[in-house]
A and B are shown apart, each in its own frame.
Chain A
Amino acid sequence: MFGEYGYIEKGRLGKPYDIKLLKRLALYALAYKTRILVALVLAVVVTLLDLAAPYLSKIAIDRYILASWYRVDLDGQGEKALEFTRQYGHLVEKNRENDLAVISSLDIKEIDPAQLHMYRSLGIITTERFYRSMEENPEVTALLETGLPFYEMRDRGILIPYSAIDSMDREDLLKLRARDIHGVFMIGSLFLVLILLSFGISYVEYYTLEYAGQHIMQDIRLELFSRIEHQAIRFFDRHPIGRLVTRVTNDVENLNEMFKSVFVTLLKDFFLLTGILAVLLYLNWRLALVSFLILPFIFGLAFLFSKLARQAFRELRATVARINAFLQERLSGMSAIQLFATEKFQMDAFDRINHKNYLAGMKQIKVFSLFMPLMELLSSLAVALLIWYGGGRVIEEQLSLGALVAFISYIQMFFKPIRDISEKYNIMQAAMASTERIFEFIDHKEIIPEPESPKAPDDVKGELSFQGVSFSYQEGVPVLEDISFDVNPGEMIAVVGATGSGKTTLVNLVERLYDPDKGRVLLDSVDLRQWPKNRLRSHMGFCMQDVFLFSGSLSENITLGRPGIGQKEVVRAAQKVNALSFVEKLPEKLEYEIGERGSTLSGGQRQLLSFARALAADPKILILDEATSSVDPETERLIKRAISEMTAQRTTLVVAHRLSTIRNADRILVMHKGRIVEQGSHETLMSLEGVYYRLNRIREAEE
C-alpha cells in the first residue's frame, strides 16, 4: 500500500495470530490504556445505539401504529373459559358495565400458542378489534358525542371498534389518534437524538483510537530504530539498508493497520454480533433459533471466501511485485535495451508478466464475483425465511408485526461484521508477519559491548598501540594477522598498501566498529574494550574518503548535535580546515541547508566539511583516509594545507595514497595481505631497501 522502499519483502505469510507476539504488543499498548479503554467503552455505546434503531421502529409499529385490543368472550364457554380466566385473567380488562372484556395485542403472545389456537377457535378470543384511546381527552369526548360506538373502561379508557374507525373522516381521526401521532413523533425524535449521539461518539472513539494507535506505533518505531542503530557494524554489513528501512517504516505501518482492524473493527464487530444475537433471542427465541440455521452457511462461506481471496490477493501482489521489479530494471537499463536493439525481446517478456498480472486480477474478480452475490443471496434467504416462518408466527400472534420487521433489519445488519472479519484476515496475517520480523530485530543483540568495569585515564595523551591483533570478517578468511605497532602521542603514521591489504580494517578497529578476534588495541595503555564507548569516541576524529552528509544545515553537519560544540567551535574548526572560504560564499553561510544527499556540494567541499566535523571536538587522535579522487587544483591545495594543520600535534593514523603525505609521516607501515611487511621512518625503510625503497626508486626514475 505504501511505497515500499525499493525492497520487496520475500517469504510466505504466516498464521494470522500468535498469542506470544500479541502479548508483547499489548505491553506497548499499556502506556495508553486509559485512552484505549475509553475508546472501547465508547465502541460498546455506539454498538448499543446502532442496535436501538430497528427496535425503535418495532415500538413505533406495535405500540402506536398497530396498537389494538381483542374482545374476549367468556360467556357460555364453560370450563375452558374458567381455565382461561385462571391462567390469563390478569391480562384481561373489563369495561365499567362489565359487559366487555378485552385483551391487548401486545399481551396476547404471553398465551401458549397451542392454547391460543384453541381459544381462538372456541371464540373465547375473537377477531373483533378495538382501538383504545387516551383516558381523558376533551376532543375525544367531543367525538364520542357524535354517536361513535364506544365502551368506557374501568380505568376511564375508551375502546372504539376499528370497524368504526376505518370509516371516520380524517379530521376526526387526527383528534382520536393524537396520542399515537405524538408517540411516533417522540420515537422519531428519540431516534434522531440517538443518531446524533452515535455520530458524536463514533467520532470521538475513532479519534481516540487513532491517537493511541499512532503513539504506540511511534514508540515501537523508536525502540526498533534505536535497537537497530545500536547493533554493531557487522550487523549492517549483513543487512541491506532497504530491508532495515522497510522494517522501521512499512512493517511498523502494518502493525498500525492491525491495531486498527483488530482492536477496533473486530472488537466492534464482535460487540455488534453478540448484541444482535441477544436482541434476536429476546424478541423471540424460537424465531431466533430458526434464523440461526443460516449461520453455519454464512460462516462457511465467509471462511471459504477469505481463503480464496487471500490466495488471489497474494498472487496479485506477487505479479505486481514482478512488474515493479521488471520495470525498475528495464527503466534504469533502457540505454542497454536500445543500444542492443532488444526492444522486441523485452516487450515479449513484459507482455508475459503483464498478462500474468491480468490473470491474477481476473482470478480475484472471479472470487469476489462469486462471494459478494452469494453473501447477498444468503441475506435474502434469511429474509425469505423470516417472511415465511416469522410471518407464520405473526399469524399465530406469537410475534408482533413490528418484531418481525425488526427481525428482518437485524438479520441484514448481521452480515456486515461477518464479511469484515473475513476481510481483516489478510491484514492480520501480514501484520503478524511484520510483528514477527520487528521483534526479531528488537531481540537481536549484536552490539559492541560497553565495558563492565570501565577504565579511562582522566588526561588523554593519545598513545595508540596494536598488540598482536588478528581479525576476520568471515571465519577462515583472515583480514589482519598478528598486527603490532605503536603510535606515540602526537606522532603521524602513514599506512600504505594495495587494495585489500587490510588498511581500512585497521581503521575500523581503531574506531572500535569491530573488536579484534585476537590481540588488543590500546589507547593510553587501556584496552579499547575497557573504555566507555562515548568517552573513547569523544577523543577521536575521523575523515573518510566518501564523506557522508546528513540532511540539515552545514553547521549541524559539523556538530552532529554533540554537546559542548557550539557556534564558536564550529567556526573555529571550519576556519582551521579552510572550509570557511567556501562557506562564506554561500547565501546562508553555516546555516546553508544541504540538498538531498549533499548533491549541491563538490567533492572537495565535502572533504573539507568532514575535516571540520572531525576537528570540532578537538580530538586527541585523528584517523584520516586520504581521498584518491581528483579535485580541482585550488581545492587540492586547501585540502593539503588543512591536513597538515590538522595533523600537527595530534596522534594521526593516515591511510595514505600520496607520496608527499607519506613523506611527511613520522613512520610508515607497509601492509600486504593483512600483515605489516615493513615499518619505520622514511630513512629506515629506504635503508632497508625493501618494497618502500623500490617504490621510491621507480618514482625517482620516472621523475
Chain B
Amino acid sequence: MEQRFFLLENTSRGRNASTGLTFHNLFCMSFSMERPFRFLGRISKDFHPLKRYFIRNRWSLALGFVCLLLVDFLQLLIPQVIKRAVDLLTVRAGTQELLLKHGLAILAIASLIALFRYVWRHLILGHARVVEKGLRRDLYEHLQKLSFSFYQRTKSGDIMAMAVNDLNAIRMAAGMGIVALTDGIVLGTAAIGFMMSISTRLTLISLIPAPVIILFSWTLTRRMSSGFERVQDTFSHLTEQVREAFAGIRVIKTYGREEWEKDRVEKEGRKYIRENMDLARTLALFFPMMAIFTNLGIAVVIWLGGRLTILGDISTGDFVAFISYLNLLTWPMMAMGWVTNLIQRGSASMRRINRILDETPEIQDPAQPIEDGEIKGEIRVRGLDFTYPGHEHNTLKDISLRIAPGETVALIGRVGTGKTTLLHLIPRLIDPPEQTLFVDGMDIRRIPLKRLRENIGFVSQEIIIFSDTVRNNVLFGREDVSDDTLERALVTAGIQDDIEALEQGLDTRLGERGVTLSGGQRQRLTIARALIQDPPILILDDALSMVDTLTEERILNNIYELRRNRTTLIVSHRTSTISMADRIIVMDGGRIAEQGTHGDLIKREGMYARIYQRHFIERELEKEFT
C-alpha cells in the first residue's frame, strides 16, 4: 500500500527528470557479465560529491537502517500469526481466549512496525533532505565563482532546473532509492525464505512470474520516463507557440490573423496529444501490471497450494500465509525495477551537477599579485586584440588607448562594435590577453580580483535588481556605509525623490510581491549602487537608456560634478549626453574609428557627425518643448 504511493510519487516527478540513456544501453549494461561492475563503478563516481554527507550522517543512517530491517522482519511475522490462528480454527482447537492472544500479537507487532517505520522514515528520508540541501548549497557556492563566459554559454533555466529538478532526483535516489534497494533485497529474500519453509515447490512455481515482472517494471519505468520527457518536450513547444502568439499579438491583430495562429496552436496541441497518448500506452500497462504479479502468484497458489492443502502437505494456515507473503512480495519486485531507474536517474542528475561543480572559474586571482599602492584610475590599452572563444572574428582589433586619471571618456558606435566587450575587460568580467590592459601601469591580470573590482564601479546595460529592499539593493551587501554616503549617491543618481515617494522609503521591497519600479528608476538605482563606494574608475555602459534625455543630462551633470578628478567611462546612444565628455571615442567593427572632442568630430564629418545628425530631430524637439 505504502509502496505503491512512492511509485506514483516518483512517476509524477519523473516528468522533470531526464536520463539521456537509451533503453538499449541499459539493457546491455545490466545483462552482460562484467558491465555491472563498471556500471556500479560509474555510479559511485557520479555520487562521489555526496560522500561527505553520508559520512556526516552515518550514525543516524545506521540507526535508520536497523529500523528499516526490523520493519522488514516484523512485517513478515504477521502472516505467521494469521497462519497459526487459521490453523487453530481449521482443527477446531481455537478458543476465544487464544484468538484474542493472536489478535493482540498482531497489534503488538503492528505497533512496533509503526514505531520503527516512523523512525526510519524520519532518519533516512531526513538524510536525503540534508543531502539535497547541502548539495544545493555547494552548487550555488560554486556558481558564484564561475565567470561571466560561463553564464553566457549556459542558460539560467538549465541551472535552475538543476537546483530543483535534478536535486529532486538525487534526493529520491539518496532516500527512497536506498530504502527501495534494501527493501527489495531484504524483504524479498526474507519473504521468499518464509515461503520456502512452507513449501519449496509452491514457492518456486509461484515465483515463476517474478523475473518477468522485474524486467517488465524496469522496462516500463524506463519507457515511462522517456515518454514523460517527450511529453515535456512537446509541452514546451506548445508553450512556445502560445508565447509567440501572445508576444506577436499586435502583428496578428493588425493583419487579422487570429484564426491562423489558432491553427498553429492547434497543430502543436495535436502533437502534444499524440505524445501523451503514446505515453498512455505505457502507463495503461504499468498500473495493471502492478497487480498482476501478485495475482498470477495467487492463481498458482490456488491451483497448486489448494491441492497441497487438500492432500495435507501444508495446512490451511500455510495456504493463507502464502497468499499474504505473495502480497508482501509485490513491493520488493516492483522496487527492484524501480530502484534501478531511480538510481540511474539520480546518477544522470548527478552527472549534470558534477559538470558544473567540475567547472573551473576562468577568471582566477593572479598567482603573483601586485598589492601596493592606491589606484588613481589611469587606464591604458596596448595593442589589444580580443576574440571570444569559439568565435571566428576578432571582436576587438588592435585597440590602443590611454585614459588619463580623472578623464571622462564617452564611447559611441553601432550595436555590436565591441564597446561593451572593451568595458567588460576592464573589471575582468572577461579576461584580456596578458600585457594588454593596464590600470595605473599594472597589468590588470596581476591585480588581485577583489582589489581591482573594488576600485571600479560598473553599471551594465542589463538592469540587475533583486527582490529585496531598496536599501539592500543599493548597499548590495556592503557594510559600514554611512547614511550621508548613501543619500549622496541616491541624490547624484537622481533617484532620491522617487524613493522618498515610496511608502516605506528605503525599506520598500522591490520586485516580485513588492513594488515595481519603472525601467528608468531601476537604472538610476543601479547607478546609485555603483556610486556608493566612489570608485576611482566608474563605467556606465548605456546605463541611462530608459531615462529621458533631460533627466539623463541632469544625472550626468551630477556625476561629472561629483567625479571631477576621477576616471569615468560612458557608453550612450544619445549624442546629446555624450557631447559633454572630455573625449569621444567612436568605435566601428571592433576598432577605434575616430576620437576627439565633440567639436573635433563634428568638424571631421565622419561617423560621429552622421550619428549626431540622425538623432537630431528627436533631440531638438525635446529641447524645443522644454
Contact = CB atoms under 8 A, between A and B. Distances in A.
Partners in one complex: yes
Interface string A340-382: 1111111100110011011001100110111011111101110
Interface stretch (B115-123, B183-191, B399-407, B435-443): B115-123
Nearest to B15: A1
A284 B258 CA distance: 65
B614 interface: yes
A394 interface: yes
A336 B311 contact: no
Given A191-B302, A340-B476, A228 B163 contact: no
Q: Which residue, of B260, B288, B427, has the highest number of chain A Cβ atoms within 10 A?
A: B288
B415 A331 contact: no
Given A338-B429, A340-B529, A354-B136, A657 B283 contact: no
B376 to A, nearest CB: 20
B260 A561 contact: yes
A127 interface: yes
B82 interface: yes
B287 interface: yes
Interface stretch (B106-114, B332-340, B480-488): B106-114
Interface string B82-112: 1001101110101110011011101101110
Given A1-B12, A337-B144, A373-B114, A538 B256 contact: yes
B26 interface: no
A376 B114 contact: yes
Nearest to A378: B110
B163 A184 contact: no
A382 to B, nearest CB: 10
Contact of B1 (A248, A416, A659): A416
A369 B121 contact: yes
Contact of B133 (A236, A328, A358, A632): A358
Nearest to A408: B82
B59 interface: no
B254 A540 contact: yes
Interface in A189-222: 189, 191-192, 195, 198-199, 202-204, 206-207, 210-211, 214-215, 218, 221-222
B620 A698 contact: yes
Interface string A294-327: 0000000000000000000000000010011111
A659 B617 contact: yes
A184 B310 contact: yes
Contacts of B86: 401, 404-405
B38 interface: no
A392 B89 CA distance: 9
A487 interface: no
A64 B78 contact: no
Contacts of A199: 288-289, 292
B183 to A, nearest CB: 14
A695 B464 contact: no
A336 B34 CA distance: 51
Interface residues of A, number: 166
Given A337-B144, A343-B144, A496-B621, A544 B310 contact: no
A562 to B, nearest CB: 7
Given A249-B239, A357-B133, A198 B110 contact: no
Nearest to A617: B255
Contacts of A613: 255
Contacts of B140: 327, 330, 347, 350, 354
A264 B240 CA distance: 30
B23 interface: no
Contacts of A144: none
Interface in B244-260: 244-258, 260
Given A65-B309, A202-B284, A236-B246, A498 B316 contact: no
B45 interface: no
Given A332-B156, A380-B106, A416-B1, A241 B247 contact: yes
Contact of A323 (B4, B88, B164): B164
Given A395-B94, A560-B255, A562-B255, A218 B276 contact: no
B54 interface: no
Interface in B266-304: 266, 269-270, 273, 276-277, 280-281, 283-285, 287-289, 291-292, 295-296, 298-300, 302-304
A170 B311 CA distance: 7
Contacts of A699: 613, 616
B12 to A, nearest CB: 6
A230 B258 CA distance: 7
Nearest to A61: B316
Nearest to A549: B248
Given A320-B164, A347-B140, A408-B82, 4 more contacts: A64-B306, A334-B151, A657-B618, A691-B624
28 contacts: A2-B15, A5-B239, A174-B311, A177-B310, A195-B292, A195-B296, A195-B299, A202-B287, A202-B288, A203-B284, A203-B288, A206-B280, A207-B277, A245-B239, A341-B450, A365-B129, A376-B114, A376-B117, A377-B110, A377-B113, A380-B106, A384-B110, A394-B89, A405-B320, A548-B250, A550-B244, A560-B255, A630-B414
Query: Closest 5 A-B residue pairs measured CB to CB?
Result: A345-B477, A184-B306, A380-B110, A342-B477, A188-B303
